[in-house]
Chains A and B, each alone.
Chain A
Amino acid sequence: MHRLFFILPLVVVLVLVAVFWRGLDPARNPASISSALVGKPVPPFVLPGLTPEMPGLGDADLRGQVTVLNFFASWCAPCRAEHPLLKELAAVPEIRLVGITYKDRLADSLRFLAELGDPFAAIGADETGRIGIDFGLTGVPETFVIDRDGIVRYRLAQPIDEARLADEILPLIAELTR
């Protein structure tokens, strides 16, 4: 009995290590935890377009069909990196890809899109980052998948990569559009 006390710390540490081991499982996405928005409707917002001629974006536009919403900014290097994958997403016929520029000057956003191409059906300009707060943004880029009823189904708090696109986003879109 007495000896048992001396073994106890070892047991506790081993259990902890096992929990961490599970926690590090690459299949488990640490960026997706604590996303309180998943399962809830998108927060209400209305944003102007980048120019008076371009369409703006509001929460009403996110209902009716499956939407992928991407927050980006011209000053963010990872946004540049994920841009080709956004173009792939834009080619998926069942969904609508929309964007929100985050704390970015209008002219810079336009230059960014002129340089890399504009895959978005509509873009809202969130110059102050106010809407970003409602979405619980931790940075840019972030990507949300929203179903036909305007409910957030998925959030990715990091750049899209090939693996996540193929294994997480596209299957989810297939499921939501079925």
Chain B
Amino acid sequence: MIIEIGHFALVLALVLALAQAILPLVGAQRGIRSWMLLAKPAAIGQFAFLLVAFLALVHAFVVSDFSVVIVYLNSHSSMPLLYKISGTWGNHEGSLLLWVTILAFFGALVAVFGENLPPRLKARTLSVQAMISIAFILFTLFTSNPFARISPAPFEGEELNPLLQDPGLAFHPPMLYIGYVGFSIAFSFAVAALIEGKVDAAWARWVRPWTLLSWTSLTGGIALGAHWAYYELGWGGWWFWDPVENASFMPWLMGTALLHSAIVVEKRDALKAWTLLLAILTFGCSLLGTFLVRSGVITSVHAFAQDPERGVFILAILGVALGGALTLFAWRAPVLKPGGMFAPVSREAALMLNNLFITTLTFVVLLGTLLPLIFDVLGLQDISVGPPYYKWTFIPISLPLILLAAVGPLLGWKRGDLSGALQRLWGAGILGVAGIVVAAWIDFGSEVMAALGIGVGLWLLAGTFVEWAERVRLFRTEFTESWRRMRHLPRAAYGMTLAHAGLAIAIIGMTASAAWKEEVVRQMRPGETIEIGGFTYRLEEVRGVRGPNYIAEQADFTVLKDGEFYTRLYPERRQYMVQPMPTTEAAIESHFFGDLYAVIGESDGAGAWTVRIYEEPLVPWIWTGAIVMVLGGFVSMSDRRYRVGAPSRQPAAQPAKA
């Protein structure tokens, strides 16, 4: 019964979305106020119905109602509660329902918190948002109905894929979707602005918190995914340039560009058409990611619902959404009033350069992801694109971008003083060069790129600190004065400092781990030892252990450093009972300079096990960097100018609140 209520609620949400897509839009065009005002209750109601639908599905998973097809295929009564719940989105249909629910959630947020938006802009934005909803609800209902039943109901389910039974992965999809889907708000705002033919500082200020929220969430989601791959797959790697990973990385890159260009619109009223285009393309990348992952158009290690029929549907959504928005762009964007002028050396120019670099990087990733498909469609030979491609394209293009990230914030608006900025960065420069020299000395000649990566990472870290120190006049004036400045510095400034510092830390970690990882694979008997990275691993024993729904072989390693006891590691090799698919649980112990990483493989049946031990230099820095970036996002979101509300469109007509 509850399932039918959920199904029905989904249909009702569709009806409300239809009303929300048409009436406020027409109302805004014709100036009918009551129609425009319909957007708010419709958006909230649509979200409420979708929430009911989603919770009905969660309920089916929690109570193990195997008469529902996807519960039968993805759950088992012996699974822990957390994985029963996360099983809801551990499959195509359920995750799609989560997708639309989050979409409607964002619409409802705009409806509730957008009180200070001009009514026309708000009505149009919510209408566009509803159009996206309609497309995805239809997609859910017609090709991927999560509420489908089977009769007679099986007694037991087939269990969630064991690889997905993991706390990190339970939260990875929701965070990722908040990121993906959140960009729809920027898209809707952009389309609404194109219909109005007007973009100004106020528009940028409304768009920015939504973009920030999405970006922050996407950063966290990608990091969680990478972390999951790192410890669960047992390959000791965290990023494989797999199409599905790229699918989440492209919106992140474009979202990063959008965050930066929106600043220029907000502060200087320039780059308007470009920012609109970015807002459209960022969500376009989200849609593209959805398409790549769910259509089966590209083979990937973890593409999950390979069904060309669904692919056609998503492709149609992608074509209509992007084609429509870009047609509107081609028609309306040229009439936008050009904004403020700026010199070739200025904060604006630096941000523009940042955008050029980031869009180029996105294009490089897009090309790497699609080349195999393009070759195949054109009937040329099959090719595969791997890490070397990215090493020689992505990395060299991103190096100058990182260099720029330290300089840009030190340049003034309109006209900047490049030599002055560089002078203030002398310390960062020395540190960067020292980093390159030391890195090259540690590992002479073999990895030029690694030395450069460490160098620019240190440069950005130090440069970011310098910029902050400049702002608070640290050591240049009395400390009480610096302290006062520290407290009064806008949160947005701290957000940038944290995000840039986090990026720098992550870059150093990624570079070191990519370049200097070491690996030993060997057959090992209890009592034998392996030496790697200055540590000695002794296999004490391998024993059988039991979990709630799996049995496992657990190895017991004693790790020694310089002959002294350091730690113990317990990697496992699990065999889940329902899906007899072995999964590895790596044992990881972090210290400041890296991770100890041990994996136990198969037994040879004669008392020896395949054992893999990795020395993972600076990997914890990657996760630390990601956390600092996410923190920066939240700090920036809490900036006063978003809390006191957006400025009026006619600042003269109203007294400033601040």
Residues of A that sit less than 8 Å from B by CB: 2-3, 6-7, 9-10, 13-14, 16-17, 19-24, 26, 28, 30-31, 33-36, 75, 77, 103, 128, 138, 157
Main secondary structure of the interface of B (DSSP, over half): helix
Number of B interface residues in the complex (CB < 8 A):
40
Nearest-neighbor residue (CB-CB) of B292 within chain A:
A20
Are A33 and B297 interface neighbours, CB within 8 A?
no
Are B373 and A9 interface neighbours, CB within 8 A?
no
Q: Does B658 contact A (CB under 8 A)?
A: no
CB distance from B565 to the nearest CB of A (A): 34
Q: A2-B334, A30-B298, A30-B306 are in contact. Are A23 and B376 (CB under 8 A)?
A: yes
Residue among A7, A13, A20, A77 with the highest chain B CB neighbour number at 10 A: A20
Q: A23-B377, A26-B308, A33-B382 are in contact. Are A6 and B297 (CB under 8 A)?
A: no
CB distance from B283 to the nearest CB of A (A): 12
Are B308 and A24 interface neighbours, CB within 8 A?
yes
Chain B residues within an 8 Å CB radius of A20: 291, 295, 297, 311, 315, 318, 373
Bound CA span A9–B329, Å: 9
Q: Which 3 A-B pairs have the closest CB atoms?
A: A10-B326, A75-B580, A22-B377
Q: Does B284 contact A (CB under 8 A)?
A: yes
Bound CA span A86–B51, Å: 46
Q: A3-B334, A24-B315, A28-B376 are in contact. Are A10 and B329 (CB under 8 A)?
A: yes
Bound CA span A13–B579, Å: 41
Chain A residues within an 8 Å CB radius of B298: 23, 30
CB distance from B11 to the nearest CB of A (A): 28
Chain A residues within an 8 Å CB radius of B396: none
Are A17 and B319 interface neighbours, CB within 8 A?
yes
Q: Does B493 contact A (CB under 8 A)?
A: no
Chain B residues within an 8 Å CB radius of A26: 308
Given contacts A13-B319, A34-B382, 16 further A-B contacts (CB under 8 A): A2-B334, A9-B277, A9-B280, A9-B330, A17-B319, A19-B370, A21-B315, A24-B311, A30-B298, A30-B306, A30-B308, A33-B376, A36-B384, A75-B581, A103-B582, A138-B299
Q: Does B41 contact A (CB under 8 A)?
A: no
Chain B residues within an 8 Å CB radius of A7: 330
Chain A residues within an 8 Å CB radius of B370: 16, 19
Q: Does B372 contact A (CB under 8 A)?
A: yes
Which of B284, B295, B333, B602 is within 8 Å of A13, CB to CB? B284
Are B308 and A14 interface neighbours, CB within 8 A?
no
Nearest-neighbor residue (CB-CB) of A4 within chain B:
B330
Chain A residues within an 8 Å CB radius of B296: 30
Main secondary structure of the interface of A (DSSP, over half): helix
Nearest-neighbor residue (CB-CB) of B579 within chain A:
A75
Are B326 and A23 interface neighbours, CB within 8 A?
no
Bound CA span A176–B260, Å: 60
Chain A residues within an 8 Å CB radius of B327: 10
Are B374 and A19 interface neighbours, CB within 8 A?
yes
CB distance from A88 to the nearest CB of B (A): 25
Chain A residues within an 8 Å CB radius of B329: 6, 9-10
Chain A residues within an 8 Å CB radius of B318: 17, 20
Nearest-neighbor residue (CB-CB) of A23 within chain B:
B297
CB distance from A76 to the nearest CB of B (A): 9
CB distance from B366 to the nearest CB of A (A): 9
CB distance from A18 to the nearest CB of B (A): 9
Interface string of B278-302 (1 = CB under 8 A from A): 0011001000000100011111000
Chain A residues within an 8 Å CB radius of B579: 75
Nearest-neighbor residue (CB-CB) of B311 within chain A:
A24
Bound CA span A20–B316, Å: 10
CB distance from B605 to the nearest CB of A (A): 9
CB distance from A105 to the nearest CB of B (A): 9
CB distance from B187 to the nearest CB of A (A): 13
Nearest-neighbor residue (CB-CB) of B376 within chain A:
A33
Within 8 A of A (CB), among B156-214: 158
Q: Does B312 contact A (CB under 8 A)?
A: yes
Are A24 and B297 interface neighbours, CB within 8 A?
yes
Bound CA span A26–B319, Å: 19
Nearest-neighbor residue (CB-CB) of A10 within chain B:
B326
Task: Offer 15 A-B interface pairs, CB within 8 angstroms, sorted by A.
Answer: A3-B330, A3-B334, A9-B280, A9-B326, A10-B329, A13-B284, A14-B323, A19-B370, A23-B297, A23-B376, A26-B308, A33-B382, A34-B382, A128-B602, A157-B299
Q: Does B322 contact A (CB under 8 A)?
A: yes
Bound CA span A20–B158, Å: 33
Q: A6-B333, A26-B308, A34-B384 are in contact. Are A17 and B323 (CB under 8 A)?
A: yes
Q: A30-B306, A75-B580 are in contact. Are A24 and B322 (CB under 8 A)?
A: no
CB distance from B266 to the nearest CB of A (A): 22
Nearest-neighbor residue (CB-CB) of A74 within chain B:
B580
Bound CA span A2–B280, Å: 20
Bound CA span A73–B4, Å: 38
Chain B residues within an 8 Å CB radius of A6: 273, 329-330, 333-334
Bound CA span A3–B273, Å: 12
CB distance from B318 to the nearest CB of A (A): 7
Q: A9-B281, A13-B322, A17-B323 are in contact. Are A34 and B308 (CB under 8 A)?
A: no
Bound CA span A174–B494, Å: 71
